[in-house]
């Protein structure tokens, strides 16, 4: 009587459908996300293969070839020191991708831990962490980053650290709000009713259900971090010459923009393309991971 409506037929071939697999299926059907993914893979390959595909050293130029327009020898032209811009743009990909990914990993990791603590334990823990976040968010992020770099001294690593610190509240608040919602969910109550400890509840139930929005924000955050690193480089507070960081290249070539526009166009274009790539993938991930899109 009890099992009347249950089909007892063994399905012939069942496609395994887990939430992550479903999300992946939706993602690869999204053309824009695939384009973005292609852009990112392209830049990653350039960065990895930089020593093999670049014809010139990135830090030494021939002064006779200053500010030469694009040609067969120098595809993207040369800069005011006679350095090959194509080579520098490719090495720049190494720097920008590393900065973007590491800065986001750092802020996402710290933000997630703080957000979990604030959301799960509440009370004075939440009070303390949330007020610190409020104070940090009261500053314009680039200003705070400038202040941190000013204290630590200008370098690429310090710029990366500054970007990571500045973005912690973004992830912290996101995770806190997710945890506050999840804590009320019946499946978390069920876990407590079973007799599960806090650690297991956090790592088996709350964290896995927070990952999707963290991944989406993180992917979009890589784009922001790349821009922020370029901005700090442009201000002379990030990577230092002769490092071929895209922001540094922009500021170096600023005075030659009239008669050697290629020295500004190609680094600028690279920033734009990578940022676009991460944004497209981030948007695609949001659509794929949003549970409200579930059929």
Partner 1 sequence: MTELLTVKNLKTYYPITGGVFGRQIGTIKAVDDVSFSVRSGETLGLVGESGCGKSTTGRSILRLTEPTSGEILFDGVSITRLKPRELRSIRRNLQLVFQDPFASLNPRHNVEKILEEPLVVHGIGSSQERKKRVHEILEIVGLSSYHARRYPHQFSGGQRQRIGIARALITQPKLIVADEPVSALDVSIQSQVLNLMQDLQREFGLTYLFIAHDLSVVRHISDRVGVMYLGRIVELAPKDELYDRPLHPYTKALLSAVPNPDPDAKRERIILQGDVPSPANPPGGCAFHPRCSEAREVCRTTRPPLGDVGDGHYAACHLYNE
Site string for partner 1, 248-277 (x = CB under 8 A): ------------------------------
71, 204, 257, 272: which one binds partner 1 (CB under 8 A)? 204
Spatial separation of the C-alpha atoms in residues 23 and 56, rounded to whole Å: 43
SS3 category, 1: coil
Spatial separation of the C-alpha atoms in residues 58 and 83, rounded to whole Å: 7
Q: Does 25 bind partner 1 (CB under 8 A)?
A: no
The stretch near partner 1 (CB under 8 A) out of 42-50, 60-68, 87-95, 202-210 is 202-210
Q: How far is the CB of 8 from partner 1 (least distance, A)?
A: 6
Using left for φ > 0, alpha for ψ between -120 and 50, and beta otherwise, residue 84 falls in beta
Q: How far is the CB of 144 from partner 1 (least distance, A)?
A: 27
* Core vs surface per residue 88-116: b (16+ CB within 10 A) or e: bbbbbbbbbbebbbbbbebbbebbbebbb
Whether omega for the bond prior to residue 242 falls within 30 degrees of 0, making it cis, is: yes
Q: Does 205 bind partner 1 (CB under 8 A)?
A: yes
Q: Does 288 bind partner 1 (CB under 8 A)?
A: no
128, 190, 257, 293: which one binds partner 1 (CB under 8 A)? 190
Interface with partner 1 by CB under 8 A: which residues? 1-6, 8, 10-11, 14, 16-19, 185-187, 189-197, 200, 204-205, 208-209, 291, 294
């Amino acid at each position: 009587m009890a099992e009347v409506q249950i089909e007892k037929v063994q399905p012939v071939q069942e496609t395994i459908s887990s939430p992550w697999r479903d999300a992946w299926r939706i993602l690869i059907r999204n053309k824009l996300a695939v384009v973005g993914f292609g852009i990112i893979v392209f830049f990653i390959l350039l960065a990895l293969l930089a020593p093999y595909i670049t014809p010139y050293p990135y830090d030494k130029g021939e002064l006779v070839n200053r500010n030469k327009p694009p040609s067969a020898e120098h595809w993207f032209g040369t800069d005011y020191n006679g350095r090959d811009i194509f080579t520098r743009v490719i090495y720049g990909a190494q720097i920008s991708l590393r900065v973007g990914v590491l800065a986001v990993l750092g802020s996402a990791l710290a933000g997630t831990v703080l957000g979990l603590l604030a959301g799960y334990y509440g009370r004075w823990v939440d009070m303390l962490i949330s007020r610190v976040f409020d104070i940090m968010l009261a500053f314009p992020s680039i200003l705070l980053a400038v202040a941190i770099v000013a204290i630590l001294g200008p370098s690429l690593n310090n710029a990366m650290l500054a970007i990571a610190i500045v973005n912690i509240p973004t992830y912290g608040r996101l995770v806190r709000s997710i945890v506050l919602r999840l804590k009320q969910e019946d499946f978390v109550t069920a876990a407590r009713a079973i007799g599960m400890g806090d650690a297991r509840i956090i790592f088996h139930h709350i964290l896995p259900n927070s990952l999707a929005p963290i991944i989406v924000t993180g992917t979009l955050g890589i784009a922001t971090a790349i821009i922020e690193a370029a901005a700090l480089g442009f201000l002379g507070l990030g990577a230092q010459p002769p490092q071929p960081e895209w922001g540094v290249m922009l500021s170096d070539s600023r005075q030659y923009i009239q008669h050697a526009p290629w020295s500004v166009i190609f680094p600028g274009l690279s920033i734009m393309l990578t940022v676009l790539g991460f944004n497209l993938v981030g948007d695609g991930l949001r659509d794929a991971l949003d549970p409200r899109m579930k059929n």
